[in-house]
Amino acid sequence: TQLLEQSPQFLSIQEGENLTVYCNSSSVFSSLQWYRQEPGEGPVLLVTVVTGGEVKKLKRLTFQFGDARKDSSLHITAAQPGDTGLYLCAGPNRDDKIIFGKGTRLHILP
C-alpha cells in the first residue's frame, strides 16, 4: 500500500521564524501536490511538483520534490499568522487514486 507520511504532525512557532515540513513515502510518485486547509473549509491547491529535484516557489513558500520522487518538502520563510493551517501532501497511487497524507497542522504565533 502506498502511503504518504507527513512530519511533524503539529508545529507551533513564532511569527518571523522559518520552518520546514516533510512528506515521505517508500514509493515513487509521478507527481505530488501540496494543499493548505483552514478549519471548516476545503483544501486549497498550492502547487504540483512533477520532476525529481524540482523546486517551486510561491512567495515565501518553497516546495521541493526529491530526486527519487519519493519525498517532498515545504519550507516557509519568515512565517506569518496567515500561514496557519493544515498542510496536506497528496499524490496519485498505482491505481490512479489520489491519496493524502494526514497533514501537518501549523500554528504561527503573533
> Contacting other proteins (CB under 8 A), which of 33, 54, 65, 66?
33
> Contacting other proteins (CB under 8 A), which of 11, 13, 19, 99?
99
82, 72 Cβ separation under 8 angstroms: no
Residue 90 binds other proteins (CB under 8 A): yes
Helix/strand/coil (H/E/C) assignment for every residue in the chain: CCCCEEECCEEEEECCCCEEEEEECCCCCCCEEEEEECCCCCCEEEEEECCCCCEEEECCEEEEECCCCCEEEEEECCCCHHHCEEEEEEEECCCCCEEECCCEEEEEEC
Number of residues that bind other proteins (CB under 8 A): 23
34, 21 Cβ separation under 8 angstroms: no
Residue 31 binds other proteins (CB under 8 A): yes
Q: Specify the residue, 14 or 95, whose C-beta has the smaller distance to other proteins.
A: 95
User: Judged by CB under 8 A, which stretch of 53-61, 62-70, 74-82, 84-92 contacts other proteins?
Assistant: 84-92
User: Judged by CB under 8 A, which stretch of 54-62, 63-71, 77-85, 88-96 contacts other proteins?
Assistant: 88-96
Residues that bind other proteins (CB under 8 A): 31, 33, 35, 40-45, 48, 88, 90-92, 95-103
